[in-house]
Amino acid sequence: FDQLDGEIWMNGSFVPWKDAKIHVLTHGLHYASSVFEGERAYGGEVFKLREHTDRLIESGRILGFEIPYSADEIDAATTELLKRQGFADAYIRPIAWRGSEMMGVSAQKNRINVAIAAWVWPSYFDPEQRMKGIRLDLAQYRRPDPMTAPSRAKAAGLYMICTISKHAAEAKGYADAMMLDWRGRVAEATGANIFFVKDGAIHTPDPDCFLNGITRQTVIGLARRRGIEVIERAIMPEELSGFSECFICGTAAEVTPVAEIADWRFTPGDITRRLVEDYAAEVQPKRAAAE
């Protein structure tokens, strides 16, 4: 992936894609002092760009560093990057990390670096599978207690358990894994939030130890706009047999129906389909003033 053509925005300027490099003694690599975002542009506009940029800056603060660019500067760089890359629909990956000036756990004075890359990433999961519903395994690892890890930050370090869990799921033929939290409650997928449907209402876990995703918040708003009740609460895995539909959502995954989680079965139905469609419409740039 490091040999593509095009450009990457890095520390204030556009550099050729192949030259956007860091040193092997980078603090972010050794000690996970790295935070990032995942964004999608539709029709040339990044959906909820400012929310993502604000979360990036806040994630850095949670890890104890200040990103040396304002939200306006980051947003302008993102927009300019998309233009230079010539992308209308794309995935955007901003990342900020502590540099390589000093070695050691602390290295407080190391430069905070920022880069933004964009590429065409049509769908996280195979599009044909989408309405059939994907299959999730139950993850081995659990989301940590917020007293154990900074769970509100979109921090690289928190993805270690996600990658391991996803690899284990893929090795068994699943698309992804559902993670429980440290209390044994249902939490989320490895890179997306999770929702269930029962008797016409939507149930989703309280986001108290994982990201309250921007997509999650959007989908809750879309459901309520349709008059569908949304209940945020603690959900235990034993309850899964009582849900008829299930879907996951995130910037990359968008709204993806789920057909199986380990031994539990779901049938993607009307509510899931409506939210897949409503989300697809919502992300399109709002051009007409009449809308």
> Residues 154, 166, 172, 286: which is the catalytic one?
154
Closest C-alpha to 26, from 95, 72, 128: 95
Nearer to ligand PMP, 110 or 218 (CB): 218
Query: What is the Cα–Cα distance from 86 to 6, expressed in whole angstroms?
Result: 10
In whole angstroms, how close is the CB of 106 to ligand PMP at the nearest point? Answer: 27
In whole angstroms, how close is the CB of 46 to ligand PMP at the nearest point? Answer: 12
Q: Nearest to ligand PMP by Cβ — which residue?
A: 213
154 flagged as catalytic: yes
Question: Tokens in use for 49?
Answer: 């760009």
Nearer to ligand PMP, 68 or 146 (CB): 146
Could you please report the per-residue DSSP string of 95-152?
EEEE-SSS-SS--TTS-EEEEEEEE----SS-HHHHTT-EEEEEPSS-BPPTTTS-TT
Nearer to ligand PMP, 33 or 165 (CB): 165
Query: What is the Cα–Cα distance from 210 to 162, expressed in whole angstroms?
Result: 12
In whole angstroms, how close is the CB of 171 to ligand PMP at the nearest point? Answer: 20
Query: What is the Cα–Cα distance from 230 to 169, expressed in whole angstroms?
Result: 29
Binding site for ligand PMP (CB under 6 A): 38, 154, 162, 188, 191-193, 210-211, 213-216, 250-251
In whole angstroms, how close is the CB of 23 to ligand PMP at the nearest point? Answer: 27
Nearer to ligand PMP, 240 or 248 (CB): 248
On whether the CB atoms of residues 261 and 165 are closer than 8 A, the answer is no
Collapsing DSSP to helix, strand or coil, 55 comes out as helix
Closest C-alpha to 138, from 184, 74, 76, 205: 184
In whole angstroms, how close is the CB of 154 to ligand PMP at the nearest point? Answer: 6
Nearer to ligand PMP, 207 or 237 (CB): 207
Which of the residues are catalytic?
Answer: 154
